Amino acid sequence: MKIATFNINGIKARIEALPAWLATANADVVCLQEIKSVDEGFPREVFEGMGYRVETHGQKSFNGVAILSKLPLEDVTRGLPGDDADAQARWIEATVIGARAVRVCGLYLPNGNPAPGPKYDYKLAWMARMQARVAHLLTLEEPLVFCGDYNVIPQAIDAARPELWTEDALYLPQSRAAFRRLLHLGLTEAFRTRNPSPGQYSFWDYQAGAWERNNGIRIDHLLLSPQAADLLQDAQIDKQVRAGEKPSDHVPVWIDLAA
DNA sequence: ATGTCCTTACCTTAAGGA
């Protein structure tokens, strides 16, 4: 079962680049972030025409997540528990029925800038809510995949120029500590586990020639429960997508599970 | 860090978010 995560930065803007990548990627499941669309505005027929089931959790203008799947989905839920007043569309879950059933959680973690401030407070509170949801799901002792745009640079080796990020919400010690708390629940960070070398990124800013200078950061992650980690066969970043026509500022990251 | 991009609205230009 090949599972990918891809922050597309707007479905309308990516209506050519996303299908082009899908046609070559051969993924079974794709978690999308920043669809920037309401559910009714999402061009689901484009993806249904490519053999995907489409589940969205959108909102107007900002945020929004979705799951595309060639395999059957069960028990789709929308929203991260823990704050009924939170209207931001950043979390979707579904159970994918392959050779094994895998619970897939697609997430778009808050950016948090500027920090300190209310946006950073929201980020940290959201991460605490995610930790509670992950802890609950882990009690099921099933294959779980938590994938998406975490907006966290885990370590210095995950940035080309870490010194530029020391005051940024993506790299502040509190953000990285909260990310480690997720890992310490018993999750495995798929890409880093299989690829220990530095210089591997999933995001390059549109500004200041970041792509041309390879001034990137690695912020899109797939975290696995022990039962999913046991099935891990491969983990890769589709870096070349960033050089394509009208690209997102993120590229797809994917895993292959024996499921 | 900022040489950009995306979306929306008081829509041919600016603001907010990233």
pLDDT of residue A202: 98
pLDDT of residue A33: 98
Question: With a 7 Å cutoff on the CB, does A36 touch strand B?
Answer: yes
Domain span at A127? 2-257
pLDDT of residue A112: 97
Task: Quickly state the pLDDT bin for A62 (edges 50, 70, 90).
Answer: very high
Burial A188-225 (b: 16+ CB within 10 A, else e): bbbbbeeeeeeebbbbbeeeeebbeeebbbbbbbbbbb
pLDDT of residue A225: 99
DSSP assignments along A199-227, one per residue? ---SEE-SGGGTTTTT-EE--EEEEE-HH
Over residues A106-162, the pLDDT tens digits come to 999 999 999 999 999 999 999 999 999 999 999 999 999 999 999 999 999 999 999
DSSP-derived 3-state class of residue A198? coil
Cis peptide before A247 (omega within 30 of 0): no
pLDDT of residue A49: 98
Over residues A179-222, the pLDDT tens digits come to 999 999 999 999 999 999 999 999 999 999 999 999 999 999 99
Which residues does A210 contact at the CB level (< 8 Å), separation at least 6? Answer: A204, A216
Nearest protein residue to nucleotide B18 (CA to C1' distance) is A111
**Which domain CATH number covers A102?**
3.60.10.10
Over residues A218-258, the pLDDT tens digits come to 999 999 999 999 999 999 999 999 999 999 999 999 999 99
Q: For tokens 């945020």, what's the residue?
A: A63
Question: With a 7 Å cutoff on the CB, does A119 touch strand B?
Answer: yes
Residue ranges of alpha helices (H) inside chain A are 17-25, 44-48, 118-138, 173-184, 190-194, 226-229
pLDDT of residue A131: 98
Asked if A240 and A204 count as a contact pair (C-beta separation under 8 A), the reply is no
Active site residue A108: yes
Active site residue A149: yes
Q: How far is the CA of A185 from the C1' of B15 (A)?
A: 41
What domain count does chain A have?
Answer: 1
Q: Give the H/E segment covering residue A195.
A: none
